[in-house]
Amino acid sequence: MHRRDFAALAGAATVSGLPGWLSATAQQPVRVNGERLNRHLAELAAHGRSPTGTNRAAYTDADLSGREYVTGLLREAGLDVRMDTAANIFGRREGSQRGLPAILLGSHIDSVPDGGNYDGDVGSLGAIEVARTLGERRISTRHPIEVVIFQNEEGGTIGSKLMAAGLTEAELDGVARSGKTIREGTRLLGGDPARLSEARRSPGDYLCYFELHIEQGGILDEAGIKIGVVEGIVGIRWYEVTIRGFANHAGTTPMDRRKDAMLAAARLTVAVNEITRAIPGRQVATVGRITALPGTVNVIPGQVVLTIDLRDMSVATMTLATGRFHDAARRIEAETGTSITFRDLSTNEPAPTDPRLRRVITESARALGLSSREMPSGAGHDAQEVARIAPIAMIFVPSVRGISHSPEELSRPEDITNGANVLLQSVLAVDRTGLGR
Amino acid sequence: MHRRDFAALAGAATVSGLPGWLSATAQQPVRVNGERLNRHLAELAAHGRSPTGTNRAAYTDADLSGREYVTGLLREAGLDVRMDTAANIFGRREGSQRGLPAILLGSHIDSVPDGGNYDGDVGSLGAIEVARTLGERRISTRHPIEVVIFQNEEGGTIGSKLMAAGLTEAELDGVARSGKTIREGTRLLGGDPARLSEARRSPGDYLCYFELHIEQGGILDEAGIKIGVVEGIVGIRWYEVTIRGFANHAGTTPMDRRKDAMLAAARLTVAVNEITRAIPGRQVATVGRITALPGTVNVIPGQVVLTIDLRDMSVATMTLATGRFHDAARRIEAETGTSITFRDLSTNEPAPTDPRLRRVITESARALGLSSREMPSGAGHDAQEVARIAPIAMIFVPSVRGISHSPEELSRPEDITNGANVLLQSVLAVDRTGLGR
């Protein structure tokens, strides 16, 4: 810990009654109760536990009981609890200065099928623990503090979208993993699909949004770094590529007379990988799905459909990579006698975090004696939606071996506690100094 | 036509009564009735005709009615018709010299789903036309002539296997495309599954077997050559290759931290193609089937299973290629952090044709003024099974654009007539001279 930084960070916080966070050790920043936080995480894990992993998909019984458990924690933390019409759960603690916008912090508690116990849960319970610590230590903040538990993040950041942008009628009729539509599921959770507009928030309603989350990659774990300061949530381009050749007999068609869609698909898959690695930067591209027709051992495939998932913080880099994918496709078409077409499946623009908030997080980590590094988030998060209405920030803690969306997902208790402490210090620092405006 | 060749070929044939094939034009080899042959092909096409192609899979109603039609043709040709216990249909014409083995000629009339009207049909009706011509012209042969229509070729050369080698009980219980087991289907067609051993034939039972067939590839069509003299039916190796990597998040896993089974599969597919093309010869290799798990857009595939179909006349070449596939797999494993295992799915040994019979066919084509070339058969045929008990030969006629197993399958009427004429001349030549023993 660097005392100068600590003093600069925490020195100006307003303490009401007993000087809460200073009372125990005047030299130390206030800290969350890590043992309690990790116990709550273990208790939440019981909701949706199954032999194949955590199954707490949105709109299931496990989701309902998990939300009930979390609502209890919000109450225990002394927060005013409410649910908006989009079925997002909020816990609010008022600030000392009238008219200031709230600082929002939170995440989600729904899981993917056969998922783990950390994705979303760490940020949700970490935010509650921060609010509870503020209450226990009787630390008054200038801004109100709001904890949010967004509904159905894994199904497409639904709750945060409903808050920050809204969904179309068609999107509301989309079927979630539970088998229910978004509309039905939102109603099941206690929302009111007929009054969704009431859940919408606008720029200025919140000072900023902090989301603590597990990294879901292995960068921090491998480097032994404790805190990831997220530069932003990467943009995503999804392409469906159709390669048309000519289906023919695998025995009677000489090698030089083929229009082999599988060979063209393989060359394109290799090219996508090589192109992505050749461009400087941290962009990633993945061929995840492939279908070959007719798909029998003894027929040269006449058609192959595959997908490309391309992600980066930079739109320019994604545009460059996509252009090179197309160039490669033109070359492969000529070499293999096939035709290759790209179709846009989905586009998400990058959501950069606020550089002032990044500095606050970096300083908070340093004050706590924790190593940190800036890094992009390759995964999507509720924060990318909230970015439409407020400056956002994300704090990453290490994922052991980088595994996520799996029962093997693991973040160490001490790392989770560290993350919550950085969140607490960052909230306090922003509350004190604002965003430098 | 080269008169010297013709004389050498046809000069010694025994003609009974009127000098049949010499009577019309003493300078010309006897010829089949091509108009009738092509008319019969068109009539057979009505059995199983559908909007999506010919559907005359074994053991279907269309198969039954097609067999009834063909049995009528065998009778019209003046042959003694019988069905063996394996449901193969035979038509026999006795020879003039006692104790000589029969010359066998024929093919099959079952089709693949949505197939065409030439694969199998040309050789079946061509053989019947040859026998009918011999009868009409009152040409006596020393050896008996037997025409055979094998059952269920497309389902794995079942009828010819039952004649030449037999099937295991498990194979008889295998389910054919019709949904019936081989056993049930054989009974449906009029065979007797309890007495299949009676259908078995042994080496020496037949002098030789001739099968006229469409090429199913585009070599003859492209080169403008009329007759393919088949060197043999290629051996086939089927491998199932399993590539195990590590499924991980497409967004959070850096490119240099992946164990991407899809990338490894793509590199292997490219390597299989390059290796196969680099070895001198006409071997072919095909990756026809691929499955990636979990198979979603945003997950790096953790497992890919693909198939390799490798064919050549030379076992040594197939062994060489397979060794190089394995070498490539070892290199790709190291490059991609995956593990790659090969499993044998199926092995068919090459079935070379008899070189003496190949010379007979080449000479017959030349006598008829038809260009010819030797070539392997990349597809499997009943002849490969008959090869276990008799010298075999195959005569190919051009497939327009090399298309087969498709409603677009086409061989021109004049090419079919040419093929039947070569078959007729080859039968006569072998009947006269034997196999040179």
> Quick check: B157 contacting A, CB < 8 Å?
no
Give the residue on A whose Cα is nearest the Cα of B402. Answer: A253
Does A62 lie in the same domain as A183? yes
Instruction: Please write down the HEC assignment for all residues of chain B.
Output: CCHHHHHHHHCCCCECCCCHHHHCCCCCCCCCCHHHHHHHHHHHHCCCEECCEECCCCCCHHHHHHHHHHHHHHHHCCCEEEECCCCCEEEEECCCCCCCCEEEEEEECCCCCCECCCCCHHHHHHHHHHHHHHHHCCECCCCCEEEEEECCCCCCCHHHHHHHCCCCHHHHCCECCCCCEHHHHHHHHCCCHHHHHHHCCCCCCEEEEEEEEECCCCHHHHHCCCEEEEEEECEEEEEEEEEECECEECCCCCHHHCECHHHHHHHHHHHHHHHHHHCCCCCEEEEEEEEEECCCCCEECCEEEEEEEEEECCHHHHHHHHHHHHHHHHHHHHHHCCEEEEEEEEEECCEECCHHHHHHHHHHHHHCCCCEEEEEECCCCHHHHHCCCCCEEEEEECCHHHCCCCCCCCCCHHHHHHHHHHHHHHHHHHHHHCCCC
Q: Which residues contact A417 (CB under 8 A, 6 or more apart)?
A: A31, A32, A34, A37, A38
Residue B17 confidence (pLDDT) = 41
Asked whether the beta carbons of residue A219 and residue B254 sit closer than 8 angstroms, the reply is: yes
Q: Do B12 and B131 lie in a common domain?
A: yes
Clarify whether residues A18 and A75 are in a common domain: yes
Cβ contact B269–A262 (<8 Å): yes
Same domain, A35 and A52: yes
How many Cα neighbours within 13 Å face the side chain of B74? 25
- Residue A307 Cα, gap to closest chain B Cα (Å): 6
**Where is the domain boundary, A348, A383, A411?**
A348
Q: Which of residues 76-135 of B touch A (CB under 8 A)?
A: none
> Count of domains in chain B?
2
Query: Is A215 near chain B, with CB under 8 Å?
Result: yes
Amino acid at B102: A
Residue B346 has what pLDDT?
87
In a shared domain, residues A108 and A140: yes
CA distance A95 to chain B (A): 37
Query: Are B300 and A286 within 8 A, CB to CB?
Result: yes
- Interval A271-297: pLDDT, tens: 999 999 999 999 999 999 999 999 989
B310 and B253, same structural domain?
A: yes
CA A195, CA B178: separation in Å to the nearest integer? 57
Nearest CA in chain A to B311: A251
* Most A CBs within 10 Å, among B221, B270, B297, B317, to test the A interface: B297
CATH number of the domain residue A305 falls in: 3.30.70.360
CB spacing of A253 vs B377 below 8 angstroms:
no
Final residue belonging to a domain, choices A348, A375, A391: A348
Are B109 and B211 in the same domain? yes
> What pLDDT is recorded for position B28?
76
Q: Which residue of B lies nearest to A299 if distances are taken between CA atoms?
A: B288
Q: Answer yes or no: do B428 and B323 share one domain.
A: no
Chain B hits for A271, CB-CB cut-off 8 Å, are none
Domain of B286 in residue numbering reads as 235-348
Give the closest of A217, A252, A299 to B378, CB-based: A252
For B17-39, the pLDDT digits (tens) are 434 444 344 457 899 999 999 99
B249/A218 touch (CB, cutoff 8 Å), yes or no: no
What pLDDT is recorded for position B78? 97
Q: Tell me how close the Cα of B199 comes to any Cα of chain A, in angstroms.
A: 30
**Residues of chain B under the 70 pLDDT cut:** 1-27, 437
Q: Are residues A386 and A420 in the same domain?
A: yes
A312: three-class secondary structure by DSSP: strand
Residue B27: the pLDDT is 54
Q: Does B159 touch chain A (CB under 8 A)?
A: no
Q: Looking at the complex, does the CB of residue B301 fall below 8 Å from at least one CB of chain A?
A: yes
CA distance B226 to B365: 9
Q: Which of A220, A241, A286 to mutate to test the interface with B (most CBs of B within 10 A)?
A: A286
Residues B91 and B48 both lie in one domain: yes
Rounded Cα distance between A304 and A301, Å, is 7
Q: Tell me the pLDDT tens digit for each residue of A387-436.
A: 999 999 999 999 999 988 889 999 999 999 999 999 999 999 999 999 87
Asked if B261 has any chain A CB less than 8 Å from its own CB, the reply is: no
As given in the structure block, the two tokens for residue A205 are: 């309603």
Q: What pTM, to 2 d.p., does this model score? A: 0.83
How far apart are the C-alpha atoms of B191 and B186, rounded to whole Å?
5
pLDDT at A10 over 50: no
- Residue B398: asked if its preceding bond is cis (omega within 30°), the reply is no
Mention every residue, 6+ apart, whose C-beta is less than 8 A from residue A344: A237, A238, A239
Domain boundary, last residue among B291, B322, B348: B348
Partner residue opposite A288 with nearest CB, options B217, B218, B301: B301
ipTM score above 0.85: no
Same domain, A212 and A240: no
Tell me: the pLDDT tens digits for A108-165?
999 998 899 999 999 999 999 999 999 999 999 999 999 999 999 999 999 999 999 9
pLDDT at A27: 55
Q: A304-362: per-residue pLDDT in tens?
A: 999 999 999 999 999 999 999 999 999 999 999 999 999 998 888 999 999 999 999 99
Task: Check CB contact under 8 Å for A402 and B286.
Answer: no
Cα–Cα distance measured from residue B169 to residue B167, given in angstroms and rounded to the nearest whole number:
7
B185: closest CA among B148, B154, B151, B150? B151
Would the CB atoms of A269 and B263 count as touching at under 8 Å? Answer: yes
B252 touches chain A (CB under 8 A): yes
User: With 70 as the cut, is the pLDDT of residue A437 above it?
Assistant: no
From A131, A115, A12, select the one nearest A62 (Cα to Cα): A115
Looking at the complex, does the CB of residue B259 fall below 8 Å from at least one CB of chain A?
no
CATH number of the domain enclosing A420: 3.40.630.10
Residue in chain B lying closest to A284 (CA): B255
Of A27-31, A34-38, B416-420, minimum mean pLDDT range: A27-31
Is residue A7 scored above 60 in pLDDT?
no
The two tokens of residue B131 are: 């026998």
My answer on whether A247 and A380 are in the same domain is no
Interface test with B, best of A240, A298, A347, A384 (most B CBs within 10 A): A298
| pLDDT one-digit tens code per residue, B256-281 | 999 999 999 999 999 999 999 999 99
**What pLDDT does residue A346 have?**
87
- For residue B238, give the nearest of A284, A297, A405 by CB distance: A297
pLDDT for A171-217, tens place per residue? 999 999 899 999 999 999 999 999 999 999 999 999 999 999 999 99
- pLDDT the model gives residue A265: 98
Tell me the shortest Cα–Cα distance from A265 to chain B, in angstroms.
8
